[in-house]
């Protein structure tokens, strides 16, 4: 299993009729440079036997799923509920039961209560302690009210962000979609940034940190809004930690990089792929041949062991 590659041969025609939130259709595509990198040094999954390493050394396994877009009906995937179920089956088949599951947003396609309810019904079949943050598709029209009513964390800040600890790892769930625009991407805002500074106060620099947020917290492709404008401020608080793992969604493909002690990962969707940065006139659902789709959807398993830290492995629905 390769944790760093994007299957570029799978790039198919973009579907302008299904671009996210319409507004993106209006964006001009400027420039040909690819700003994202997939540097070496990204931790590899343990592979066979890794589960034993994780559990025998006091560690644990958790999983990330993202962008399930329940309610989407486009040609790129007419049945995202079925592929979400397949993703959960993939997780259920892992040799070690995950201690928890993270959903990094766009649970629904249009924030409709029926979509959110349908997603909740499917997700509860995983019987996993699941922690959510919204994507911009989950906050359409009501600033996430319906989303938070179903998936909000107990004790979360009024804006929906929160943190928790598990097995020696500190998890931070950030909300960067309430001020989202296709032109500027995600934003955290001063209130959340202050909360983050406070949340990290008193934590030892050796505490492993996992940060989840929907829109990438680094500039993958700002022309498409694949960035978070004020994330730099967040990293001034995070930088002193020896291990920071950032888990994002939104772009429906894996892009990873390592910067000092921070490892960044975006995730595959469970619903449909999107074009690689700059490889289409605009982002949005990308139709690929039916026999290719499962190889572009997937889940991420992360093993944590105190001695060796965190290691991520991406599993496609075809693998
Ligand atoms: Zn999104």
pLDDT in tens, the chain (319 residues): 333 333 332 223 333 333 333 333 322 232 322 222 222 344 444 444 444 455 557 899 999 999 999 999 999 999 999 999 999 999 999 998 999 999 999 999 999 999 999 999 999 999 999 999 999 999 999 999 999 999 999 999 999 999 999 999 999 999 999 999 988 999 999 999 999 999 999 999 999 999 999 999 999 999 999 999 999 999 999 999 999 999 999 999 999 999 999 999 999 999 999 999 999 999 999 999 989 999 999 999 999 999 999 999 999 999 8
Distance of CA 307 to the CA centre of its chain: 26
Token pair 């800040």 is found at: 157
- Cα(187) to ligand 1 centroid in Å equals 13
Token pair 């993939």 is found at: 90
Question: Domain extents for the chain?
Answer: 60-298
pTM for the predicted model, two decimal places: 0.84
- Cα(132) to ligand 1 centroid in Å equals 13
- Cα(307) to ligand 1 centroid in Å equals 34
60-298 folds as Purple Acid Phosphatase; chain A, domain 2 (3.60.21)
- Cα(310) to ligand 1 centroid in Å equals 25
Token pair 């958790």 is found at: 62
Pairing of strands 130-132, 100-103: parallel
- Cα(272) to ligand 1 centroid in Å equals 12
Strand partners, 266: 248
Q: Considering Cα of 89, then 90, then 95, then 97, what sign does the dihedral take?
A: negative
Pairing of strands 162-166, 130-132: unpaired
- Cα(242) to ligand 1 centroid in Å equals 29
- Cα(52) to ligand 1 centroid in Å equals 34
Tokens of 51: 């589960």
Query: What burial class does residue 93 get, using C-beta atoms within 10 Å of its C-beta: 0-12 exposed, 13-18 middle, 19+ buried?
Result: exposed
- Cα(137) to ligand 1 centroid in Å equals 6
- Cα(174) to ligand 1 centroid in Å equals 14
- Cα(258) to ligand 1 centroid in Å equals 23
Ion ligand 1 — residues with CB < 5 Å: 106, 135-136, 250
- Cα(55) to ligand 1 centroid in Å equals 33
């Amino acid at each position: 299993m390769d944790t760093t590659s994007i299957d570029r041969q799978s790039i198919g025609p973009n579907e302008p009729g299904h671009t996210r939130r319409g507004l993106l259709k209006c964006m001009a595509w400027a420039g040909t440079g690819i700003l994202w990198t997939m540097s070496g040094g990204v931790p590899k999954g343990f592979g066979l036997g890794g589960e034993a390493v994780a559990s025998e050394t006091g560690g644990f396994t958790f999983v990330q799923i993202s962008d399930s877009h329940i309610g989407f009906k486009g040609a790129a995937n007419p049945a995202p509920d079925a592929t979400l179920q397949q993703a959960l089956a993939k997780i259920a088949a892992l040799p070690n039961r995950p201690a928890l599951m993270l959903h990094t947003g766009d649970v629904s396609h249009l924030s409709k209560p029926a979509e959110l309810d349908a997603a909740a019904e499917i997700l509860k079949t995983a019987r996993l302690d699941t922690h959510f943050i919204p994507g911009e598709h989950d906050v359409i029209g009501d600033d996430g009210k319906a989303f938070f009513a179903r998936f909000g964390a107990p004790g979360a800040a009024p804006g929906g962000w929160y943190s928790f600890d598990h097995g020696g790892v500190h998890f931070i769930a950030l909300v960067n979609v309430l001020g989202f625009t296709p032109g500027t991407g995600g934003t955290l805002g001063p209130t959340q940034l202050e909360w983050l500074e406070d949340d990290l106060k008193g934590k030892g620099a050796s505490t492993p940190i996992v940060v989840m947020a929907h829109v990438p917290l680094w500039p993958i492709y700002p022309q498409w809004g694949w960035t978070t404008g004020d994330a730099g401020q967040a990293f001034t608080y995070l930088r002193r930690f020896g291990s920071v793992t950032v888990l994002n969604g939104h772009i429906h493909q894996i892009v990873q990089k390592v910067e000092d002690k921070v490892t960044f990962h975006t995730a595959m969707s469970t619903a449909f792929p999107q074009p690689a940065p700059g490889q289409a006139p605009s982002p949005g659902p990308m139709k690929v041949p039916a026999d290719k789709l499962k190889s572009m959807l997937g889940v991420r398993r992360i093993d944590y062991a105190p001695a060796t830290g965190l290691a991520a492995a991406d599993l496609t629905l075809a693998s």
